[in-house]
Structures are given as structure tokens and as C-alpha cells.
Amino acid sequence: MFQLDKPVHSLAQLFIALWLDAQQWRPNHRSAASQPDAGLIAAISDALKKSTEQAVLAGLMPLLETESLSKPAECGKILAVMRGLDNEFLAIHPRLAYVSRSDSPKPSIPAWLQALHEQRILHKDYGSYAEHHLIPRGPLTRTCREENAANADSLADQFAALAVVPVVMHQDGRSIGIVQHFLATDAARGIVSASNTAKEVVAFIPIAEQRADLVVTEYPRDGKLFVDFRLHADINAVDRLLDGLKQIAEADIVIVPELMISETDADSLAGRLSNQRFRIMIAGSGHTEDTDEGLPWNESRIFNRSGTVLWRQRKLWPAGLDQTQAEFYGLSNGNGLIMEKNAAGDEIMIVDSDSLGRCVVLICQDIEINSGVGEILRQFQPDWVFIPILDHGINTGGWIHQRTFALSDLSQARFLVASTVLPTANDNSTQPRACGLAVGPKFSLENGKRPYLCVSVVEDTTPGYATITWGGESVWQRTTVK
């Protein structure tokens, strides 16, 4: 019998409570749930037609009484109520503006549903209960995963409009807070809308293109070695970035690699961005002025076209150099890893923009947080995953391609990776190294199965840049495993 751990006072709390109950069932109990009879379906429909949230709640609660029901009937009743609510919330889902026909009749939205739409705009979700939030099922601007995408029972994939998400993720047992944020669609505070959804133009600006562009400094500390990466003092990162932007006619998304834009540079950049020809910029990342036990954070700042800081994301899991990598950079051959001279962040931002989609930034090593990142993708179903890295470049089949390939099965997210292009010690190739990588979902209704594209800087551009158009005329390839 379904029982509440504590009273519910809203429809969001009811859905979360039902979800938490249903996710504890065995998968075969969900798949064997009975189909509700016509009387129950009619009763659910009648309850959902009431004008106030409390009236709807009062109409649904008696329907959940299951004292004399078999397990399949009990499961079927609970899922029927959840599906009824999910179907109603489709009318206020951001995806409606992208997947519905313009000449389709607009759905009639009851007052209680309109109030919950406004609740999300003000408070980022539809409500919370038992350390979980109720949010729109991602992605926000594309078709969601199919119900049978997992080729097995999946509670989350049974719903198109609603998802229940936690307030923390974990990395090796450490709790990392999940912070949700909602962006407006105006140029001053948020991300402007565009007419080319599903055909977004992405620009990659590597900033560092020569080994001499990067200064690598070794720091002994308490018997251990740390390494600091930053641009050479003769390079003005902001000037180089803006000079790159001038060469790009227009872009929806601009992304810069890791450790190219320090906090000081980002402050300067904010004052020099105005009426730019992009919608959002992931300004790489860089060292903060604040420190934790003497270690700065590796922080990314995300701007809109007006220079407004939309959000910030600190690297969660500092990386290290093994002995081969240390030798390339001329560092000591110490035992174990030489860790980057940065502190670890303790929050991950999940940012909703109804004009661009649900976004998350994972800085380099963060993409390797095994179970944590997988759960973020599975539960939040983002539209975009932005990944600034610092590397020699991007290779088809390399580590970042392998990792995004592995994660592309979990959601409809599109991964965008920006890298520096530093020549390796034995690099005699005359071919430019790729500075940008785009990887699509394993099963995409837009581009077929798991599309990807590596791009190098445009020939004879200074500073270098590269662009792609998502789903455009470029020859997209398919990642395969043999």
C-alpha cells in the first residue's frame, strides 16, 4: 500500500512522493503494472480539470487508496496518476514551443497549472519534497528520450514533461551540491532567443596555439609537487579572444579552453562585451583571486552577449600529470601525480534557459567523475554539456572523445569540447590539430546515431578559430566501436 512518509501540500510534492515510492519497486513490478480501468482514468481526468491546485490534490488523493489491491493493480494506479499529471505539465513545458506545429491549437491551461509555470520562473522548479525537486524533463528544446531508450524498464523515461532530481551528486563519497538556476530570455539578464534552434552555430577559440603561449611552473609544497598553468605574460587573453570574435560573423555559442581566462581577465572581458554577435560564451576557465589553503579555484565564467555574467562554475576535481606528461612540460620526475595547483569546487550548476536549453559546464577532469556525472546526465537530461579542456588538441578516438562517446547513451545532450592546440614534442605533422569537438546523443532524431565532428582552426586566421553548425552541411561522422 502506498503510504506517505510525511504529508504533501502541493501537486509537486505529490508527484515527488509517488516517484520516490515507484523507484523502489522492482523493475518487473513496474513493467507488469496493470492497465487502469476506464473509471479510474475518467476520475483522474475529472480531478485534473479542477481550477485550483488544492482542489486537484483533493480529487487525486482518494484515488490512491490501495488497501485491497494486488501489487500490479496498486502499481498501475500510482503510475496512472503520475502519467495524468505528466500529461498536464506538457502544456507548460518549454519544449512545446519547439516541437509543436505553429498552426496547432494552443492547449487550454488551467489556473493551477499557470501558477506552477510562474512558480518555476521565480523559484527554478515546480516544488520540492524530501530533498528532491520537481523540474521539467530535459531536454528543454529537443525531443526527449523515448520510453524504451534504455531497452529495459526505466521510471524516468516513462515521463515526457516531469523529472524528479536530487540536491546533491557524489564524487568518491564526497557530496557536491547541485544548484539550479533559471535564465530569462532578454539580452540584459539572460540568453536571447534564436530562429535557428537545431542549427546552432558554435565557435571554438583556442587562445593558446603554440607551446610558448603556455607557462608551466612547478611548485613544491609540503614535500609534494604542484603545477600551475597560465598564459604567457606577453599574451593578453582578452584581446586575443576579442580579435577572434571579430572574425566570426555570428555564433550562438562561443567556447574557450580551460585555464585561458583568469578571474582578472574575466572581469576585464565583462566590461568589453556589448551587443556581441553571440548568444552565450563559455569563457574557458582560469585562476581565481580567492584561495583555499593557498590554492586558487579553477573557475569558468559564462557570459551573455551584453557582458552579463550568467553563472560561474568551479572545477570539481583537480587533475594531475603523470611522469610522461611531466617530462613533456620539463617538470620534475616525482613519484605519482603532479597535481594542478587548484582547489576543488563543491557545487555544480544546472542552468535552464528556455531559449537555449538546460546547460552544464564540466571543466576537463570533471567529465571523468564516473557515477556522479552519469547521474547528472541521466536525471537532468541537459540540452548542452560544455567542456573546456587544456590539452595538445583533440584526436578522434582520444580520451575526451572516448568519454563523451560513453556518456552519449544516457541523455539527448550535445557535448561541446574546446581545447588549446599545443604541439607535442614529436609532432611533425603538417595537419592542424583539432581545437573543437561536438558529440551528439547515441540515438538522435536529428542526425541519426551518435554524430560527432572534430574541427581545426580556419586556415590563415590569427588568432585561430573554428566553427561548426549543429546538424549543418559539414560532414558529420559516426562514432563506432569495433
**Measured distance CA(259)–CA(266) in Å, rounded:** 11
Cis peptide before 105 (omega within 30 of 0): no
If you average pLDDT over every residue of the chain, what do you get? 91
Provide the CA 357 distance to its chain's centre, in angstroms.
Answer: 9
* Other CB atoms within 10 Å distance of the CB of residue 206: 28
Does residue 467 carry a pLDDT above 60? yes
Please report the pLDDT score of residue 451 as a whole number: 84
Amino acid at 14: L
Q: Alpha helices, DSSP H only, in 170-252? A: 237-246
All three cell numbers of 131: 530533498
- Domains, the chain, ordered by start: 11-166 (no CATH), 174-478 (3.60.110.10)
Mean predicted confidence (pLDDT) in 424-449: 72
Query: Taking every pair of C-alpha atoms in the chain, what is the biggest distance, in angstroms?
Result: 77
Phi-psi region of 32 (alpha: psi -120 to 50; beta: other; left: phi over 0): alpha
Residues 6 or more apart in contact with residue 103 via CB below 8 angstroms: none
Q: What is the pLDDT of residues 313-361, one digit of tens each?
A: 999 999 999 888 888 888 887 667 899 999 999 999 999 999 999 999 9
Low-confidence winner among 140-154, 339-353, 361-375 (lowest mean pLDDT): 140-154
**Measured distance CA(146)–CA(150) in Å, rounded:** 9
Is 421 in contact with 451 (CB distance < 8 Å)?
no
Please report the pLDDT score of residue 312 as a whole number: 98
**Measured distance CA(305)–CA(5) in Å, rounded:** 47
Mean predicted confidence (pLDDT) in 199-221: 93
What global pTM score does this model have? 0.94
Alpha carbon dihedral 270, 272, 273, 276, in 10-degree steps, equals -170
**Measured distance CA(262)–CA(177) in Å, rounded:** 24
